[in-house]
Structures are given as C-alpha cells and as structure tokens.
Amino acid sequence: MAISTISSSGLDGNVSQLGKNLLINGEMLSAQRGDLTGVGGSNAYVSADMWELRRSAGTEEARVSTSVESLSKDNSILLGGHRYALKIDCTTAESAVGSAEVMFVCTKIEAQNLQHLLYGSEGSQQAMSLRFGFSSPKSGTHCIALYSPDGNRSLVREFTVAAADTFEIIKIDNIPGDALGTMNNDNGEGLRLAFPLFAGSAYHDTNNTWEANEAASTSNQQNLLDNTSNNIFITGVQLEVGLKCTDFEYEPHSVTLAKCQRYFFRLNDIDSPIPFMAGQAITATRTRAVFHLPVTMRNTAAGGITLALSDADHFSARAVNVAKAASGIAAQGSAGGNIVYLDLTIASTTAGDSILHESDTANSYVDFSSEL
C-alpha cells in the first residue's frame, strides 16, 4: 500500500493549530484530491485541501476546473517565495449574474481556535489583517468576505487589482472585529473567508461593516467567470490578528498536511490487487477492519467521519483465499482518538473468519472526511 501524501511523522494526533496565521493551507501546499473538473454544480471541495467552492441554490451556470499549479521562478520571487497556487479555470461561463446568484471560493476556521478574537465583546474585539497572492482576469475592484455562521454576520472588504492576469501581493490591513457577533467555543465552523467569483445583488452589502446577513461582496465586485478564457490564482493567504499585515508565516509541508488531515484524509494509490486492511467477519454479510488514521480527526463521535470511495466495485474481502465482491463500505464509528472501524458489505462469508480487505483496481482510494 502506498499513500501519495507526505507522512505526518513526529506530530501526534492532536496537531497544534497555533501560529499567527489563522488559516490552514493558505500556501496551497496540500492537495490530496488532485485536479478536479466540472466543479460548480453544487458546493464542493476543490483541489487545495481546506478550500471549497460554494454557490447559492439558484441557477448558476458557471463551471470550473481546479488544480494546484507550480509557479514560475519569477512569480515565486515576486510573491515572496510561494511555490504553488490554487488555479480556478472557467470552463463554462456565467454570462449574466442573477440577483440571487453567487459563487465563491472559501476556507473555514474551527471556532475553538478563534476564541481570542473576542467577537461579541464590544471594545475588546480583535482586528485582523489579510494578505495573499492573487491573479485575476480583470483589473479594478474585487472583494473578500468574512462570515461568522454562529451569529449569521458578515463583513465584505474591497481591494484593487492593478493589472489583469498579473500576480501581485494584496494587503488588507485593519479589518474590524465584530463587536455584536457570537462565536461558539466548539469544533464547528467559526469563521469563513471567501473570495467571490461573482455575486448578485442579494449578496451585496456595505464595504467594511459587519451586518446581520451572509454577504459576499459590495456592488462593485466583478464577474470573474464571464469568459472561458478566465483564470484566477490564489496563494499565500494569511489571516492574522493585528492592525497591519506581517510577513507570511511559512511552515513545512508535513505540518500543513497533518493539519489538513484533521478534516480530510485520502488513502490513495492503493496498488492492485493488494490487501490494505486486516479484519474479521462479524456476520455472514459484513466484515470489519480497524484503521488507524494519521491524526485525530475533527469529529470522532458516531457519524462524525464519513467515507467516500473511488467505487465500491474497487474493493473486496478475502477469506481462506476466496475473494468476495464488496457492495459497500462504511465507517461505523470511532474507537477513540485516531482509530476508526470500517465495515465492508459482502455477498456471503462465515462469521468469525479472518478477512483481508483488498483493492481490486489500480488508483483506487478511500476518503475519510470530517470537514467543517
């Protein structure tokens, strides 16, 4: 079995989230899902871990492909050393934006990691600053948005792109804290940072003011997906407490990966045919294996970790040298910490048999998700 990600050795199951950058994978170092196409028909995670494309329940036509691209030496130097960027490639254009339509790329922060922002404590709430590397198909006014779901409050902030299709570092200083907001001290979503790709009037609001809504931009935001030649690049995203942006906080790839795996882990590049989990038949039609995750995931309660497969037909169970085709696989809860039970549904076997869970297809994978 091979895992096409860097080992998180040296980090225990409770990977520290501390550091001045409140975001995880702002440098786009970790990309377990790989290149993706046809994104935009529904909310979906994109190529860079922790980043998601979201839309309204409207009639948005736009579709994009996403990838994490290596930057040229010149662009890397210009951006202060960043080597990779999230690329959003418009493949189906949004010719006209309806008032109730919106699409944005965002990342979320766990609420218990944000208690020091003191939202809802008038006079004590903390200001933040944001810096990022950016290339847009259009010059002029763009926006970012912050959204706090616990209090259903948002703030939008304008910034200016100097030249189209040109990398530059954007710095947004002194984003005010929310004096009237609420943020629970739990492992749910505390704050979302969004880069709108387009936004209808129902998602517009005043620049730099916290309001009781889920706004995405001001009315000056441009439609970045109005042409299939449009590409957007984002990298080096740092959100920090303070009135001024500071230098980007770099960290090793292995540290970023381990932080990302708290929310999503892909067991992939499983060679075929090869056993990758040992277990036991617990009934005549169900086998169980115990799997050790590389780090403790965000929600280890029953149902807190979900599974997705390359295809159920890619897996089987073998007992006494007889392969049994699988019709489904599911997580059946956590044994605590970073251990999960995996159940495989098969046609028939004998309860109590020792079982090897096998991959039958090259490039098969199992996804473990506990995303915000």
Res 275 pLDDT > 80: no
Amino acid, res. 275? P
The whole-number pLDDT of residue 17 equals: 56
Confidence of residue 138 (pLDDT cuts 50, 70, 90): very high
**Paired strand residues for 346:** 326
The whole-number pLDDT of residue 274 equals: 64
In angstroms, the first-to-last Cα distance of the chain is: 29
Q: Are 154 and 126 in contact (CB under 8 A)?
A: no
The whole-number pLDDT of residue 13 equals: 38
Confidence of residue 272 (pLDDT cuts 50, 70, 90): low
pLDDT digit string (tens) for 14-49? 444 568 999 999 999 999 999 999 999 999 999 999
pLDDT digit string (tens) for 62-109? 999 999 999 999 999 999 999 999 999 999 999 999 999 999 999 999
User: Would you kindly state where each structural domain of the chain is located, as residue ranges?
Assistant: 36-248, 264-369
pLDDT digit string (tens) for 314-348? 777 776 656 666 666 665 655 556 778 777 777 77
Mean pLDDT for the chain? 88
For the chain, percent of residues with pLDDT exceeding 70: 87
Res 145 pLDDT > 70: yes
For the chain, percent of residues with pLDDT exceeding 90: 67
Nearest to 258 by CA among 299, 294, 306, 298: 294
CATH code that applies to domain 36-248: 2.60.120
Task: Give me 220's structure tokens.
Answer: 């000056």
Q: How would you classify the pairing of strands 189-199 and 140-148?
A: antiparallel
The whole-number pLDDT of residue 311 equals: 75
Res 116 pLDDT > 90: yes
**Range with the lowest mean pLDDT among 73-82, 130-139, 286-295?**
286-295
pLDDT digit string (tens) for 160-196? 999 999 999 999 999 999 999 999 999 999 999 999 9
Confidence of residue 7 (pLDDT cuts 50, 70, 90): very low
Average pLDDT over residues 149-159: 97
Average pLDDT over residues 201-212: 97
Confidence of residue 307 (pLDDT cuts 50, 70, 90): confident
Confidence of residue 198 (pLDDT cuts 50, 70, 90): very high
Q: Are 154 and 207 in contact (CB under 8 A)?
A: no
Is CATH 1.10.357 correct for 264-369? no
Res 3 pLDDT > 60: no
Nearest to 59 by CA among 39, 42, 38, 36: 42
Res 8 pLDDT > 70: no
Task: Give me 142's structure tokens.
Answer: 């763009």
What contacts 16, CB < 8 A, 6 or more positions away? Answer: none
- C-alpha–C-alpha distance, residues 59 and 79, integer Å: 36
Chain-centre distance for alpha carbon 37:
16
Q: What pTM was computed for the model?
A: 0.90
Confidence of residue 301 (pLDDT cuts 50, 70, 90): confident
Res 4 pLDDT > 60: no
The whole-number pLDDT of residue 325 equals: 61
**Range with the lowest mean pLDDT among 37-46, 120-129, 283-292, 293-302?**
283-292
